[in-house]
Amino acid sequence: MSYTVAAVCAVVASVLYLAFPVLWEAARKRNMAKYTAYYDLKTLGHSRETSSKIPGTAVVCGGSIAGLLTARACHDHFERVVIIEPEAWLSTDEGRQTEALNQTSKRARIIQYDVYHGFHSLIYRAMANFFPDFDNAAAASGIKVDRTDMDYRISGVSPPSAPKFYGGNTPKRLWSSRRGLETLLRRLVLDTKAYPNIEQFVGSVLNNATGAAQAGHKWLPALGFAQDLQIQSYNPRAVYGSMTMRVPSSFWDSLSHMPDNARGPAAGPVPLPQWLFDFLDKLHEVEDTLAFQKIRQNADPSSLLPYEKCARLPENFVALGDANCRVNPIYGQGFAKVVNGVSSLNTLLEQGRFERALPRDFGRKFFNMQAPKIEPLWTNPKLFDTVPVPGESDNQMYKFKRRYIANLRKLAFKDEQAKLAMYRTSMMLDSATIDYFHPALIIKVFWQWMTSTA
């Protein structure tokens, strides 16, 4: 009898062992589909036949990042798209000029307009899928598309990259001032030849409704909706400093030894390379053009509006980008939130491709789809900001997760599996949190933890 039990156990164990890679891969795919926009990216830019477009007008509040990308997605599904944007100059040629640095008007509501932004590969993929000639359009605006690596460093050194998983090339990503990318996006979206159904009007949907103002929660309750919305918020007490200088094109002539993807000391190996000092010395030539901006997030803390939990929602209302969630800017996730939201919207519209009307409960379906894709972008900064949301505490679980990730990062310098997990998540492409918790990786991380000296 005991032989039989042992034999059955051995068979079951062998089957599980053999089946594990398949089961794990299936779980990974489910996790990615739910928590990331990776699979949704594929259908961005797939337009319906004109005869199948939904009759009527999609109204988009705000012509900034979220508004412009939403309008672009809606163009593929609706007969008409209207953007309402209060800042009048954004509807003139200046709002979409190729040389955004020469704009003289100022963005009234975007404090970070002059701040340099970093964008995950996810953002590049979304742009390239939406706009077929994106690389050339970016080049015309002086926006850099390159194949730079990981985002995090320990003592100034990044772990090695993992290009072999991407056909020998690391995925493309974007570097640009916020001003540059926003203006380029506007030029592309408001191109009436490419997207004839999109119009932008100067106006305001109520007062200060979207982006950071997140006013959905202010006016929906007045209409009997979202009265039970439980906003979560905390102040990460972040201070963001940004320096801008204007350099002539000849400035770079004597700096040809700077690597193509140089991004300042944070990206430099230790000891810091000579090119960095040469670059800093050279900046003296243009120091009179220096503009310094300090952004303190006192008035606009991190916040999440979980609309999906509300009992009553309008059928045809969605909120995405900063209107749904704001996070500490030091993590550079703002555009990723927008892409996750716009991809959810597009997937939902794509599912009803042959229906000439919005599906029933469209708003709720949207929020249900968007919420898990926003969840990691909201939770991870919370983990590292260590400023609890009222009602939460920086508890043992948070502390454990922080230590786990810290050890995973260290491990990534010497272990291929850890490196790949970190690399993929930093690109926000084909990965999800589950990659951090592969059983073999868990064992290695704990070993790292136990044997770590620092």
Q: Least distance (Å) from ligand FAD to the CB of residue 321?
A: 2
Contact code string over 57-76 relative to ligand FAD, x by CB under 6 A: ----xxxxxxx---------
For 233-299, the DSSP string reads EE----EEEEEE----GGGGGGGTTS-TT---GGGPPSSPPHHHHHHHHHHGGGGGG-EEEEEE-SS
Q: Is residue 84 involved in binding ligand FAD (CB under 6 A)?
A: yes
Q: According to the binding rule CB under 6 A, does residue 180 interact with ligand FAD?
A: no
**Residue 376 in the binding site for ligand FAD (CB under 6 A):** no
Where does this chain touch ligand FAD (CB under 6 A) — which range of 15-23, 208-216, 275-283, 343-351? 208-216
In this complex, which beta carbon is closest to ligand FAD, that of residue 241 or of residue 359? 241
Residue 87 binds to ligand FAD (criterion: CB under 6 A): yes
Q: Does 109 bind ligand FAD (CB under 6 A)?
A: yes
Q: Find the DSSP H helices in 394-438.
A: 396-411, 416-427
And the tokens for 369?
Answer: 């789809």
- Look at strands 78-85 and 54-61 and give their pairing: parallel
Strand 173-177 relative to strand 116-119, pairing: antiparallel
Cα distance between the two ends of the chain: 52
How many Å apart are CA 200 and CA 59, to the nearest integer? 10
The site that binds ligand FAD (CB under 6 A) totals a number of residues, namely 42
Which is closer to ligand FAD, CB of 363 or CB of 381? Answer: 381
Of 95-103, 275-283, 327-335, 348-356, the window that binds ligand FAD (rule: CB under 6 A) is 327-335
Distance CA 310, CA 197 (A): 33
State how far the alpha carbon of 296 is from the alpha carbons of 238, 328, 330, in Å. 6, 11, 11
Pair 184, 145: CB distance under 8 Å = no
If one asks whether residue 295 binds ligand FAD (CB under 6 A), the answer comes out as yes
| Binding flag, residue 185, ligand FAD (CB under 6 A) | no
**Measuring CA to CA, how many Å separate 92 from each of 96, 223, 289, 426?**
7, 34, 27, 37
CB of 341 vs ligand FAD, minimal distance in Å? 8
- Residue span 149-178 as binding mask against ligand FAD, x where in contact by CB under 6 A, dash where not: -----------------------------x
**Binding interface with ligand FAD (CB under 6 A):** 61-67, 84-87, 109-112, 115, 117-119, 178, 204-213, 240, 295, 321-323, 329, 332-336, 338
